[in-house]
Amino acid sequence: MDALTARDRWDIEEILRPAGGGGAYVDHAIELMLRFGVRVARGSRSVGWAARRALKTIDAFAIETEADYACALHELGHCVDSVTDRPIADRDYEPGFELSIESETYAWTFAVVSAGQRWSPMCHRTLQACLDSYGFAVDYRHEQQQIHALIAFSAERARRVVYFKAPPAIPTAIAPFVAQVPRSY
């Protein structure tokens, strides 16, 4: 995709920034969209947050809460996903059914890692609620292990403990996903 245009940049601000300006969470989400060159379109409430990876575009809303921030980073993760080896055509999906555990695991891992110290208990609850809702799509034991590992990883990050020696080990089941998150800082 081409680089962001001035209009794309305006859309990112206009759609993600809530009335009143928002705080550090909003600033960070906008910064990441600009850094990764991901476009933002206004979402529809009946569908909710969504990603169109082939267009490097997310369907989004104003970031009013930390749950919104978590969703924004998750959809951004879908757009920069270099792990899921599966072409996703533009718009050829039924929202909610274009689901692979691998792509969801990657996109949530991206959100946790990219948020860094901003990953909060509310962000964690958002992740957990979404992952719990994917249960119908879990076909394999390794997928279940990835989901459990990711929830544990997210919970640990949300505790925001400062580790003076070494951070806790990354669970083996999601280590390949963590390794593929582009570092933005």
Decide whether 9 or 100 has the Cβ nearer to Zn ion. 100
From the list 107, 124, 120, the residue with the least C-alpha distance to 178 is: 107
Q: Fill in the amino acid letter for 20.
A: G
Shortest approach of Zn ion to residue 56 CB, angstroms? Answer: 15
Burial readout 72-82 (b: 16 or more C-beta within 10 A, e: otherwise)? bbbbbbbbbbe
Number of residues forming the site for Zn ion (CB under 5 A): 2
Binding mask 89-118 for Zn ion (x = CB under 5 A): ---------------x--x-----------
Find all residues with CB under 8 Å of 14, minimum gap 6, and list them: none
Element (H, E) at 52: strand 50-52
Decide whether 27 or 98 has the Cβ nearer to Zn ion. 98
Decide whether 77 or 171 has the Cβ nearer to Zn ion. 77
Shortest approach of Zn ion to residue 130 CB, angstroms? Answer: 7
Decide whether 27 or 176 has the Cβ nearer to Zn ion. 176
Shortest approach of Zn ion to residue 78 CB, angstroms? Answer: 6
Residue 124, number of CB atoms within 10 A of its CB: 21
Q: Which residues pair with 41 in a beta bridge?
A: 59
Decide whether 20 or 135 has the Cβ nearer to Zn ion. 135
Residues 73-92 that bind Zn ion (CB under 5 A): none
Shortest approach of Zn ion to residue 63 CB, angstroms? Answer: 17
**SS3 (DSSP) at 22:** coil
DSSP conformation class of 181: S
Shortest approach of Zn ion to residue 75 CB, angstroms? Answer: 7
Contact in structure between 158 and 115 (CB atoms under 8 Å): no
Binding site for Zn ion (CB under 5 A): 104, 107
